[in-house]
Amino acid sequence: MMKTAAKWVQAGVNFWTKFCVVFCLVFTSISAQAIEVGDTLIIEEVTTIDGHVITAQELKGKYVIVEVWATWCPFCHRQNQNLVELVKMTQGIPLQVIGLSIDKKQTDVVAYVEKNKINFPNAMMTPELSKAIGKRRGIPELYVIDPTGKVLQKDYGEMIDLDVFDLADYGKK
């Protein structure tokens, strides 16, 4: 009888311990602020998967489109194909597309970029960039940043083709 009672007490302790841990995790993750339209996102430096360093000076005077994505995401794949077309459409316009992959292995990203002929720079998500962007709602997630660093547009989930191509208008301002 004592052993059974001890098991019930232990089960109760385990339940409340787990409940408290989950409760704390949920409420601390809610406090992680996501960057929103109107906020400022300054990209000081990004090292691409091919080793090129994109600096703030290189982005000066340009509208920057940042896409957070992953190789395993089918919605990201379709959006990447549209971004490839956008880059072709906007050559000579002050607009820069940068992809930030959340994949764990850089080799997967390199293979994906080569296989799919991605024509815009891609980098791995870093803790610093993740902190600057904040909590994401999903992928793909896309931000349009003006030359002063102000976030003008934020989209999550796959954008329809025409909406992606409308992003060219930012560079024409």
pLDDT for position 25: 36
pLDDT for position 168: 87
Domain boundaries, the chain: 1-31, 45-171
pLDDT for position 135: 85
CA-to-CA dists, residue 94 to 81, 82, 98, 118, angstroms = 20, 18, 13, 19
pLDDT for position 114: 98
Which parts of the chain have pLDDT scores under 70?
A: 1-32
Is residue 112 a contact partner of residue 118, using CB atoms and an 8 Å limit? yes
pLDDT for position 159: 85
- What is this structure's pTM? 0.78
pLDDT for position 1: 55
Pairwise CA distance, residues 60 & 149, whole Å: 10
pLDDT for position 93: 93
Name the DSSP class of 126.
-
Pairwise CA distance, residues 82 & 166, whole Å: 11
**What b-and-e string marks burial along 28-41, b requiring 16 or more CB atoms within 10 Å of the CB?**
eeeeeeebeeebeb
CATH fold of 45-171: Glutaredoxin (3.40.30)
